[in-house]
Amino acid sequence: MARPLMDLTCKDVVFHFGDKECAAFEALKAAFTCAPVLQYPDQDRKFRLKTDASKFTVRGVISVKCEDGEFRPVAYMSHSMTLPERNYPIHDKEMLAIIKATEAWRHYLEATPYAFEIYTDHHNLTYFTKSQNLSKHQARWQMWMTRFNYSLIYKKGTQMHVADPLSRRSDYYVSSSEDNKDQTLLNPVSIKLIDVTDQTYEEHQSLITDFHDTPVAGHKGVKATFNALRKHYTWKGMKEQIQTDVKHCQKCQQSKVSNQKTSGSLLPLPVPKGP
Ligand SMILES: [Zn+2]
């Protein structure tokens, strides 16, 4: 519908607002002002989320159950993946769609008294329902999803009418020459413990930061930080580096209470009355 207007914004196109463009503008105006319009997100009703992922985009739509029992859309979202996200395996991309959607509508979904439904079109997502050795970002996602009350429903792509067209946004497409950038050769999910000995000191440091400094990590002590990291990564001198890092963590120094016995208060000696 908006195509003639979109074309006007393209590079090297002379701006000409003719009959075709005018008709598109009028049609858009009518569409925005006529029913069916978006629903009001009533917190006391049941929500439903539909999400989907393609090569470069994730998208979703949130609907609310109306009085007649039908679900009608409240809002749409669409997110263009970053370069590393484009290299995620397919189940991670589908999960990313759910994460982005729940982030966008967290204020509705957290407050609703009912469990909301998540419709997703990829069967691989059942992967996450079995116990796995989670990668770093998956562990973060897992923490994130614990805040919601939801049920996951699998639907075939052909039955997912609403979320699908948003994936075809041409402005989100990136030429295939960039497709190979940042490719991850090994799928971290399939390996139990990733040996990152060959990575640099800074890269190790950033791993420690993720497992110690983030709000989710919560500035744990040396042992707890080591155990958390140890579930996913290993490198030579890992424990020593964690020890030094935690010891020098500014936040820890400012707020951690010392577990040593406090020394008694100073008592002045009685002043003698005479020599
Ligand atoms: Zn700390």
Q: Three-class SS string for the chain? A: CCHHHHHHCCCCCCCCCCHHHHHHHHHHHHHHHCCCCCCCCCCCCCEEEEEEECCCEEEEEEEEECCCCCEEEEEEEEEECCHHHHCCCHHHHHHHHHHHHHHHCHHHHCCCCCCEEEEECCHHHHHHHCCCCCCHHHHHHHHHHCCCCEEEEECCHHHCCCCHHHHHCHHHCCCHHHCCCCCCCCCHHHCCCEECCCCCHHHHHHHHHHHHCCCCCCCCCHHHHHHHHHCCEECCCHHHHHHHHHHCCHHHHHHCCCCCCCCCCCCCCCCCCCC
| Dihedral of alpha carbons 240, 241, 245, 248, sign | positive
Residue 141 Cα, ligand 1 centroid: separation in angstroms? Answer: 22
Model pLDDT for residues 130-152, shown as the tens digit of each residue: 666 778 888 888 888 888 888 87
Q: What is the pLDDT of residue 158?
A: 55
pLDDT of residue 151: 80
The Å distance, Cα 224 to ligand 1 centre, comes to: 12
pLDDT of residue 127: 66
pLDDT exceeds 90 at position 95: no
Can you give the pLDDT at residue 34?
74
Q: How far is the CA of 202 from the centre of ligand 1 (A)?
A: 17
Over 60: is that where the pLDDT of 79 sits? yes
| Domain ranges for the chain | 3-33, 47-172, 193-253
Tens digit of each residue's pLDDT (9 = 90 or more) over 24-54 = 999 888 887 776 677 888 878 899 999 888 8
Ligand 1 centroid from CA 246, angstroms: 6
| Dist. CA 59 → ligand 1 center (Å) | 36
Q: What are the contacts of 123-130 at 24+ separation with CB within 8 A?
A: 123/154, 124/90, 124/91, 124/94, 125/91, 125/94, 125/95, 125/152, 125/154, 126/154, 127/91, 128/91, 128/95
Q: Which two tokens stand for residue 163?
A: 């979320």
Residue 185: pLDDT band (50, 70, 90) is very low
Q: CB–CB of 187/89 below 8 Å?
A: yes
Distance from the alpha carbon of residue 102 to the mean position of ligand 1, in angstroms: 29
Ligand 1 center–CA 212 separation, angstroms: 6
Distance CA 50, CA 62 (A): 7
Encoded tokens for 256 = 């951690």
Expressed in angstroms and rounded, the spacing between residue 106 Cα and the centre of ligand 1 is: 28
- Ligand 1 ion: nearby residues, β-carbon < 5 Å: 219, 249, 251-252
CA of 126 to the centre of ligand 1 (A): 36
Ligand 1 center to 231 CA (angstroms)? 19
Q: How far is the CA of 242 from the centre of ligand 1 (A)?
A: 11
Ligand 1 centroid to residue 261 C-alpha, Å = 22
Question: Ligand 1 centre from 250 Cα, in Å?
Answer: 6
CA–centroid distance, residue 222 to ligand 1 (Å): 9
Lowest mean pLDDT: which of 110-119, 180-189, 204-213? 180-189
Query: What's the pLDDT tens digit per position in 153-172?
Result: 776 655 555 555 555 444 44
- What CATH number should be reported for the domain whose range is 47-172? 3.30.420.10
Average pLDDT of the segment spanning 176-182: 41
Interval between CA 8 and ligand 1 midpoint (Å): 53
- CA 220 to ligand 1 center in whole angstroms: 7
Average the pLDDT over 83-104 and give the result: 88
Rounded mean pLDDT of the chain? Answer: 78
Distance 203 CA to ligand 1 centre (A): 18
